Chain A
Amino acid sequence: MAEQAAVNPGGEGEGGPLRASDLTRSRTRTAWLLLLPTLLVVAVVAAFPLGQTIYLSFTNERLADLQGPEWIGLDNYRRLLEDDDFHNTIWVTVRFTFITIIAEFILGLVVALVVNSQFKGRGLMRTAMLVPWAIPTVVSAQMWAWMYNDIYGVFNDLLNRRLGIIDQNIAWIADPDYALWAVAAVDIWKTTPFVALLLLAGLQVIPEDIYEAARVDGANKLQQFYKITLPLLVPAIVVTLIFRTLDSLRVFDVFYVMFGARRDTMPMAVYAQNTIVAFSRTGYGSAIAVAIFLIIAIFVVIYVTTLRVERS
């Protein structure tokens, strides 16, 4: 009773239960009032556009068209099934996702383990790790594009002239054999420190006495890693994995800066953007966007279900 009065300073002197429900109602009203601006923004920049995208994907909308969108049913989706360019973008995106995620997890785990142990300059290293994450992808792509330069680039100079590992300069970006690896290397460089920081956060929650107990029992470093570190790191790994997969599947910036809209190295998002903006084909572009959304959803469902299986 006293507590209710305390949190209801403006309440009239009426019966207890009625007052409580009054309070609840006014609290609820206040809460929705506070949420209103956010809900409005969400509606205008996300919910409505998403609905609109789904609607447009069933139309032949073009931006320059004066007639407005015309309903064409599943035509866009039928075309999508036969569109070899689109199928190629899926293949490029999925390969890119696998390459980068595997590399980022292996390298990220090594970096996280190193930074988690004691050494001079550890604080400096942790700070330095944030920098590649903080800079724009456009910037990292340009920095690497210059290093990849076929004549004046440092990689060709290093590998060919100085170390002799390759016997002639390679056009890392222009050559289709290397292009995907080249762009993956940029992403791996930029994102590995970020993955490492997330894994490090997971490592730091593992209590030290577990290792002590293992040492007493005579477990060596390798056993400790496989039997303690890795299993206890699984939650951090899973969360990071989901984040990275979602990011990789919608990759745009690094590809667009390095290749523009080059057909053989186009991820899904570049294809959609190019169709919408460069060709003004909003209807077909929206169908591509919906397809991307569905593909990402499939990955999420796979992760979530395999996780559940593992837990039970």
Chain B
Amino acid sequence: MTATARPQTTEAAAERSQVLDTVMNVIKRIPFYLLVVVIAVYLMFPFYWAFRSSITPDADLFATPVQYFPNNPTLENYRAVLSDDNFIRALGNSAIVAASVTLLALMVGAFASYAIGRFTFRGRTPVLYIVLAMTMFPQIAVLGSLYTLITEAGLYNSLWALIFTYMMFTLPFTVWVLTTFFQQMPKELEEAAYVDGATPFQVFYKVLLPLAAPGLVTTGLLAFIAAWNEFLFALSFTQTPDKFTVTLAIFRFEPQTAGGFEIAWGQIMAATIIITLPLIILTLIFQRRILAGLTAGAVKG
């Protein structure tokens, strides 16, 4: 009897101590999870606040004490912002500018990265350094002369001025990141194509470009986000509301209905949510690619 009972009790004891261990582990993890919660709240609270302000009617928004959950949620602010022609125009302008800049930077940049990544020639290293130097270049350093240049070319207050100047910060980055993608490709594929009698250009767009597709998506996304978010050049090179981009529209927001309040914060927050949404969706879908591109750009730098 005792012989069979003994192992049972040790088993039970072991089980009990195991349970105790997990409980202790959970308790030990509590401060850690508390930290996780604090970080999550810190990251997310401003978004929550913008959202709650966007669905709060002005009467509740401009009242104390502050309501942490909207009692009378409304879409009035969204309706006002979306019926504002200038804001819709700004959304269109930003889409046009960001898409054009992205396409241009990818086209021009892919050729250059192909040359730097797959060709050996004298002058390759200096070119690479010029590109690298440009990624560190402050926009403000060329603001004055670009301003003069654009005015003289008659491009002031046009979207062309933005498409053209945005190449300054999108192109070097595109070349830099795409070059690392081209360098990583196996040599054999290229050689096989040459054996079959392909020209360098055919090798480029039939063999290497399809392989570089993930790199193109990554850099394209980063270029699009950078162009969509740009403020300094848009502020300096455009003047009338019909040429504003979204960042300017948010900055110089003029409410649809004045409502007697100095600043229509409810509408501004609605506009903020609207222009941020596409970015959040893009980020959520392509987070892995964006991360890869960011760290490639930074670590290589």
Q: Residues of A with Cβ closer than 8 Å to B?
A: 6-10, 24, 27-28, 30-32, 34-35, 37-39, 41-42, 45-46, 48-50, 52-53, 56, 61, 63, 110-111, 114, 117, 119, 121, 125-132, 134-140, 142-144, 146-147, 149, 151-154, 157, 161, 189, 193-194, 197-198, 201, 236, 239-240, 242-243, 246, 249-250, 252-253, 256-257, 268-269, 272-273, 276-277, 282, 285-286, 289-290, 292-293, 296, 300
Contacts and interface: CB of A to CB of B under 8 A. Distances in A.
B97 to A, nearest CB: 13
Given A114-B36, A289-B144, A293-B138, A135 B287 contact: no
A40 B33 CA distance: 53
B138 A292 contact: yes
Interface residues of B, number: 99
A110 B276 CA distance: 27
Interface on chain B toward A: helix, strand, loop, or mixed SS? Answer: helix
Given A143-B269, A197-B291, A272 B44 contact: no
Contacts of B247: 136, 138-139, 253
B251 A138 contact: yes
Interface string B53-76: 100000001111110100000000
A58 B255 CA distance: 44
A233 to B, nearest CB: 13
A41 B228 contact: no
A7 B119 contact: no
Chain A binding surface SS class: helix
B144 A53 contact: yes
A142 B272 contact: yes
B191 interface: yes
Contacts of A56: 144-145, 148
A187 to B, nearest CB: 13
14 contacts: A6-B194, A34-B119, A41-B167, A61-B148, A119-B29, A127-B283, A139-B272, A139-B275, A143-B269, A144-B46, A151-B62, A152-B63, A157-B65, A269-B140
Contact of A41 (B50, B108, B140, B231): B108
Given A38-B112, A45-B146, A53-B145, A157 B287 contact: no
A111 B137 CA distance: 29
B136 to A, nearest CB: 6
A9 B68 CA distance: 72
B32 interface: yes
A131 B43 contact: yes
Given A142-B269, A154-B49, 6 more contacts: A37-B108, A63-B148, A127-B283, A136-B228, A136-B276, A138-B247
A292 B141 contact: yes
B30 interface: no
Contacts of B39: 110-111, 114, 125
B279 interface: yes
Contact of A49 (B116, B119, B146): B146
A210 to B, nearest CB: 20
Given A9-B197, A152-B62, A290 B141 contact: yes
